[in-house]
Amino acid sequence: MNAPASRPPIAPPLWLLAELTYRCPLHCAFCYNPVDYAQQRAELSTGEWIDVMRQARQLGTAQLGFSGGEPLLRDDLEELIGEGRRLGFYTNLITSGIGLTEPRIARMKERGLDHIQLSFQDSTREMNDFLSSTKTFDLKAKVARLIKRHDYPMVLNVVLHRFNLDHVDRIIDMALEMGVEYLELANTQYYGWGLVNRAQLMPTRKQLLWAEAVVNEYRARIGNRIRILFVVPDYFEERPKACMNGWGSVFFAVAPDGTALPCHAARSLPGIAFPNVTEHRLGEIWYGSGAFNRYRGDAWMKAPCSGCPERHKDFGGCRCQAYALTGDAENADPVCARSPRHGDVQAVVLQAQRMQAQGVQPIVFRSDANSRRLAAVEK
Ligand code: FES
């Protein structure tokens, strides 16, 4: 594992995302976990996670996120939080809320958890429960109250798509009622299960424009009562997002089985051997592995990115999206209007809308059975 000689110095990772488990009680149609997650049952032990956290801290990592699947399904979550805090991380729990009881949140508070991000699927019970294929709306509402009661800043995340974009006003009203401080309205990113259900989830431009106008209206009206982040979907943009702030730049994810990833979706990229934290030290992986060096800097870029004045701003966009849309992760992210494949993105949007009009494709909810079926089809 040797770093290429001609690259600028590599800064340490700022953010460690510990994906503790792929297990989850929900069945969301837009889940970003790998579609074949049911075949990846292995999980690092408590001791192995603590070792990962120690190594990351030694590298200089400051933020630690616990996610999944549903991280609350790990009985050792409180212990990991306590250790993370003791090591000096700013700790963040990313959760559906299912399983967050009064005694558990009290223990987390005691162990020093800094921040909880709770997800809702919609402002209505019907849509929330439909999109997660569970009856969880009331439970989530209870958890939201629990979070407030324990004096956490309330961070609410709602993934947006064509089924709930028209409810954006009601979603903000719900957030106001809950006393939310930060509301993240994140339009669906098409990775994992979101990619499988892309034709179903894709909104229309009209829906997006309306939702964005509503968000701006609320921002003007309610001022700082809630900070609202509205993440526009890539497929409707002319420039790509600076995904992960650049590959191997600030973000280090560790999958449940210990696979080290520069982004949550990287496993979808073929031909890259992602190292495992049970076999290699984190520093070795971050600075020296072929996987983390693969798309660092700009030496790997082809035209039009290689000669583009914006390449240090967007880093060529998203590698996983370039692969999903063009079949080659080294291509420019075709969301960029400068990409010769930009027309493919628009074609995908139009095709999704045609399919919606014909009503032909059912939603494939995340489940073990669907995961095994799709993995078999892939093979
Ligand atoms: Fe993998 Fe963007 S999600 S590089």
Rg (CA), the chain: 20
Give the mutation target among 189, 190, 243 for probing the ligand 1 site: most ligand atoms within 8 A of CB: 243
pLDDT at 8: 63
Average pLDDT over residues 359-374: 90
Give ∠ CA 324-158-224 in degrees, rounded to 5. Answer: 125
Q: Can you give the pLDDT at residue 7?
A: 56
CATH code of the domain covering residue 301: 3.20.20.70
Check whether 263 is labelled as a binding-site residue: no
Closest CA to 301 of 275, 274, 268, 328: 328
Question: Is 5 part of a structural domain of the chain?
Answer: no
Nearest Cα to Cα of residue 251 among 302, 285, 290, 281:
285
How far apart are the CA of 327 and the centre of ligand 1, in A? Answer: 14
Distance (angstroms) between ligand 1 centre and the Cα of 75 equals 30
The answer to whether residue 4 sits within a structural domain is no
Q: Is 135 inside a domain boundary?
A: yes
- Does residue 1 belong to any structural domain of this protein? no
* Torsion on CA atoms 265, 167, 173, 185, rounded to nearest 10: 20
- Token pair for residue 191? 């990775």
Looking at every residue in the chain, the average pLDDT score rounds to: 93
What ipTM was predicted for this assembly? 0.93
- Each residue's pLDDT tens digit, 190-206: 999 999 999 999 999 99
Query: Residues enclosing ligand 1, CB less than 6 A?
Result: 191, 243-244, 247, 263, 265-266, 318-321
Give the closest residue to 153 by CA, choosing from 90, 215, 88.
Answer: 90
Site to substitute for ligand 1 among 320, 325, 336, most atoms within 8 A of C-beta: 320
For residue 69, is the peptide bond before it cis, meaning its omega torsion is within 30 degrees of 0? yes
Q: Is the peptide bond before 304 cis (omega within 30 degrees of 0)?
A: yes
Strands 260-261, 251-254: pairing kind? antiparallel
Q: In what order do the strands lie in the sheet with 227-231?
A: 227-231, 182-187, 154-160, 115-120, 90-95, 63-67, 15-19, 251-254, 260-261
Tens digits of per-residue pLDDT, 312-360?
Answer: 999 999 999 999 999 999 999 999 999 999 999 999 999 999 988 887 6
Give how many domains the chain has, as a whole number.
1
Q: Is the dihedral of CA 17, 270, 249, 232 positive or negative?
A: negative
Per-residue confidence (pLDDT) for residue 81, from 0 to 100: 98
Q: Name the token pair of 265.
A: 């979706």
pLDDT score, position 361? 74
pLDDT value of residue 233 = 87
**Model pLDDT for residues 226-251, shown as the tens digit of each residue:** 999 998 889 999 999 999 999 999 99
Q: Is the pTM of this model over 0.80?
A: yes
Q: What angle do CA 313, 318, 324 make, to 5 degrees?
A: 155
The sign of the dihedral angle between the CA atoms of 318, 322, 323, 324 is: positive
Q: What is the pLDDT of residues 143-185, one digit of tens each?
A: 999 999 999 988 999 999 999 999 999 999 999 999 999 999 9
> Mean pLDDT lowest for which of 25-29, 107-111, 252-256?
25-29
Alpha-carbon distances of 88 from 109, 176, 273, rounded to whole Å: 15, 32, 31
pLDDT of residue 220 exceeding 90, the answer is yes
Residue 287, domain member (yes or no): yes
Gap between the terminal Cα atoms of the chain: 30
Residue-range definition of the domain harbouring residue 362 = 12-378
At 122 the pLDDT is: 87
Contact call for residues 127 and 121 (beta carbons, < 8 A): yes
User: How far away, in angstroms, is 320 Cα from ligand 1 center?
Assistant: 5
* Greatest CA separation for the chain: 56
Name which of 216, 219, 237 is nearest 227 in CA terms: 219
Let me know if residue 3 belongs to a domain: no
Confidence class for position 127, pLDDT limits 50, 70, 90: confident
74 domain residue, yes or no: yes
For residue 9, what pLDDT band results from cuts at 50, 70 and 90? confident
Token digits of residue 330 = 């080294």
Instruction: Please answer whether residues 319 and 293 qualify as being in contact, where contact means their C-beta atoms are separated by less than 8 angstroms.
Output: no
320 Cα nearest atom in ligand 1: 1
With respect to residue 2, please indicate whether it lies within any of the assigned structural domains. Answer: no
